Structure 1
Amino acid sequence: MKTLKQFLLTLAILIFAYNCKETNQHKSSKDVMLKDAFNENFFIGVAINENQILEMDSLETGLVSNQFNSITAENIMKSMFIHPSKDTFDFKMTDKYVGFGEKHNMFIHGHTLIWHSQLAPWFSMLKDSVSMVTEMENHIKTIVSKYKGRIHSWDVVNEALNEDGTLRQSVFLKTVGEDYLSLAFKWASEVDPNTDLYYNDYNMTNAEKRNGAIKLVKHIQEKGIKIDGIGMQGHWSLERPSLQEIEKSILDYAALGVKVAITELDINVLPSPWELVGAEVSQNFEGNEKMNPYPKSLHDSVQIKLANRYQDIFKLFLKHQDKISRVTFWGVNDSQSWLNDWPIKGRTNYPLLFDKQHKPKKAYDSIMSLKKRIN
């Protein structure tokens, strides 16, 4: 009897020890987050909206703070919100945004100082170069000065190029001319010389636009003005751009002596009307069932395609990690993505790493599988 009791006791101890080991292994694996896995490679960032800045949902707050070490403000820093009238700046939400980043020890990116879209209406009423230069300088210097030393990098100018690489006929170009670009970077660098200054745009893998961006950067550099990086918006699809186009773009931009940030990353899994590519927010099209093939859930076969696409892209990022400063996803989870409403309203898209319930998808696992688990 004594022998049986000893045997059972020993067996119970062994089972308990095994379960503890399994629990600890599971815990250590589960505790590895995106920011941990890629900590030695580049920042892993995410764009956050007003509710997330205000920490309205504890699950989202936890997801953002645990998985990411860099943030971008999705909308609140655009001029229509932060500078709604000529003599009025509204810093309430931006203060909270910066406070959120500081609270969670994150790299804080400012988006964006000069952009033709979501522009404060009063800007468009300025018809002469003197007035525009004066107000642009005041806009940039006031905002950058307000957050000097707290915002670590800025999109100084956003989406100034046409698809053929020429300059967009924005109100800034029409009133000031091409020099508005170099002036914007000059003013920002004068106020905070220690923050990184980026030019940010979509379709930056397309040859003509890439050449236009290279010309833009060189023009600023030739004037002796600080420009630190190119932001390549990653509004891509399951097939386009090719890995070769992405790689060539990273190499060509890095050859300018600037950093490359992958910004606004999401992978569109839905069909695009008339082969539309890019992120021109003013374009909208009529919808139909063919254009919204996954209204309730994404088919497993497409989940796998999305996972493979993300894995291939991140393999490329890791290959060129010495050139890449930051990879930022455009949204926390699928329900937040702007692609649910663009370019066709009411569609259901699945472009990010986390689903509507904040759960990691196959795409998340495919990226994490590239890195050794931290035990």
Structure 2
Amino acid sequence: MRTYKLLLLLPTLLLALFSCTAQKSKNTTLKDAYKDKFFIGTALNLDQIHGKDVQSVEIVKSQFSSIVAENCMKSMYLQPEEGKFFFDDADKFVEFGEKNKMFIIGHNLLWHSQAPRWFFTDKDGKNVTPEVLKERIKNHITTIVTHYKGRIQGWDVVNEAILDDGQYRKSKFYEILGEEFIPLAFQYAHEADPDAELYYNDYNEWFPGKREAIVKLVKTLKERGLRIDGIGMQSHLGIETPSLEEYEKAIITYSDLGLKASITELDVSALPSPWGTSANISDVNKYKKELDPYKTGLTPEAEKVWENRYLDLFKLYLKHQDRIRRVTLWGVTDLQSWKNDFPVRGRTDYPLLFDRNYKAKPVVQKLIDLTK
């Protein structure tokens, strides 16, 4: 008789258990779901760093376990004039991460873009000598990394130094110092904080020529006894490119060097790619309507395609979770994404996980469910 009563109660008990499990999954955040997989991060702008964008701040604190500064740690902001460092914004950024027990990334120490002109020129506007540039690089990196020693866990040491075909970018760093500026940067960063993780960060890291050049760079650094912990894969992706196969190959290639891959600037554009449409921006503008088809929101069909792209990517990240250190979104909501005006002014894009009203998109729960 007791067995019979238990059998009658079994469906009710199972339904209650299922409901409890479903509710628990619904209340789980991204950072909780991925805490045993890899860090899940986001980039912060100044309004978020200073607490002005309250709704974004609440999302960051509840959903993310890692942060990176979108702009305020780039050289033109940290040292706008030689010897005059401005740490106010960056200090607030680091304080935010510490207060919320986050994995903090410094971005970045050397980048040809958003670098102050004085870095490369003398009082007459001519290129400085290699010796002067070395000293300026050393002073810049040493001052910044020492300032945050023990507080920032990882640094993007050099950013975007290699072109898609594998050639070195002809930046002022390269023009004056050649390839040597990269090993020097890693050396100075390690000397300033021996415990900090050090990364090389770039985009289109799946292009064969660029991938091979990065592999060669890593081997050179290691042969010289210099520390490098990972490759930052920026991952500003489209719906179709890169293919999952070539993207996965890059992750595996860098991991096989003894490094961790970091997905550093992830966003997925739902808009048609303008590249290949025309080499002339004035011609591209003729196609503005075709390049900006979702002014008031994605269609259900477009949203489904976009969502599936994110799910496929995170399935890949989970497949290789032992090879990946962190996955960082480049922004919090669609409202603040740099993709809205790129490369055609006025474009409206939907590349991030939270919408313009600070609401989690349905894909967020689906990404959480992938970890179950």
Give the TM-score, by structure 1 length.
0.89
CA contact (8 A) 2:120 2:133 kept: no
Q: Quick check: 1:255 aligned with 2:251?
A: no
Summarize deviations over 1:221-253 as a string: whole Å, max 9, x none. 111111111001111111111110111101100
Alpha-carbon distance between aligned partners in 2 of 1:267 and 1:22, rounded to the nearest angstrom: 33
Letter in 2 for 1:93: D
CA contact (8 A) 2:288 2:344 kept: no
Greater shift after overlay, 98-107 or 122-131? 122-131
Give 1:125-274 correspondences, 5 Å limit: 125=121, 126-274=127-275
CA contact (8 A) 2:51 2:57 kept: yes
* SS of residue matched to 1:274: coil
Letter in 2 for 1:49: N
Match of 2:9 in 1: none
Match of 1:316 in 2: 316
Alpha-carbon distance between aligned partners in 2 of 1:323 and 1:140, rounded to the nearest angstrom: 28
Match of 1:74 in 2: 70
Match of 1:299 in 2: 299
Aligned-pair CA distance for 1:366: 2.8
The one of 37, 51, 58 equivalent to 2:33 is 37
Alpha-carbon distance between aligned partners in 2 of 1:80 and 1:174, rounded to the nearest angstrom: 19
Aligned-pair CA distance for 1:103: 0.9
Letter in 2 for 1:368: I
Greater shift after overlay, 154-163 or 285-294? 285-294
Structure 2: where are the runs of 5+ without partners? 1-15, 122-126
* SS of residue matched to 1:315: helix
Alpha-carbon distance between aligned partners in 1 of 2:83 and 2:107, rounded to the nearest angstrom: 21
Letter in 1 for 2:365: D
Greater shift after overlay, 302-311 or 123-132? 123-132
Aligned-pair CA distance for 1:43: 0.1
Summarize deviations over 1:161-191 as a string: whole Å, max 9, x none. 0111111011111111111100000000011
Alpha-carbon distance between aligned partners in 2 of 1:137 and 1:39, rounded to the nearest angstrom: 36
Q: Quick check: 1:290 aligned with 2:271?
A: no
Letter in 2 for 1:74: E
Q: 1:285 to 1:83 in 2, by over 3 A?
A: farther
Structure 1: where are the runs of 5+ without partners? 1-19, 277-281
Q: 1:338 to 1:284 in 2, by over 3 A?
A: farther
Match of 2:13 in 1: none
Cα RMSD between the aligned structures?
2.2
Match of 1:95 in 2: 91
Match of 2:364 in 1: 364
Alpha-carbon distance between aligned partners in 2 of 1:154 and 1:195, rounded to the nearest angstrom: 7
Aligned-pair CA distance for 1:283: 12
Summarize deviations over 1:243-297 as a string: whole Å, max 9, x none. 1011110110011111110110000111122338xxxxx9996362111100111
CA contact (8 A) 1:272 1:291 kept: yes
Letter in 2 for 1:174: E
Alpha-carbon distance between aligned partners in 1 of 2:237 and 2:276, rounded to the nearest angstrom: 12
Letter in 1 for 2:362: K
Letter in 2 for 1:113: L
Alpha-carbon distance between aligned partners in 1 of 2:164 and 2:22, rounded to the nearest angstrom: 48
Match of 2:335 in 1: 335
CA contact (8 A) 1:71 1:107 kept: yes
Q: 1:28 to 1:99 in 2, by over 3 A?
A: same
Alpha-carbon distance between aligned partners in 2 of 1:320 and 1:25, rounded to the nearest angstrom: 26
CA contact (8 A) 1:47 1:328 kept: yes
CA contact (8 A) 1:270 1:349 kept: yes
Give the TM-score, by structure 2 length.
0.90
CA contact (8 A) 1:310 1:366 kept: no
Summarize deviations over 1:25-56 as a string: whole Å, max 9, x none. 67633331000001100000000100000111
CA contact (8 A) 1:284 1:343 kept: no
CA contact (8 A) 2:130 2:177 kept: yes
Match of 1:12 in 2: none
Which contiguous aligned blocks of 4+ residues in structure 1 show a shift greater than 6 angstroms?
A: 20-26
CA contact (8 A) 2:244 2:313 kept: yes
CA contact (8 A) 2:26 2:365 kept: no
Aligned-pair CA distance for 1:122: 1.0
Q: Quick check: 1:117 aligned with 2:113?
A: yes
Match of 1:16 in 2: none
* SS of residue matched to 1:304: helix
Match of 1:5 in 2: none
Letter in 2 for 1:264: E
Match of 2:104 in 1: 108
Alpha-carbon distance between aligned partners in 2 of 1:212 and 1:39, rounded to the nearest angstrom: 33
- What number of residue pairs does the alignment pair up? 350
Letter in 1 for 2:117: P
Summarize deviations over 1:75-134 as a string: whole Å, max 9, x none. 000111111001210000000000000111100000000000011121132421011000
Letter in 2 for 1:100: F
CA contact (8 A) 1:72 1:109 kept: yes
CA contact (8 A) 2:164 2:210 kept: yes
Q: 1:264 to 1:252 in 2, by over 3 A?
A: same
Aligned-pair CA distance for 1:371: 1.9
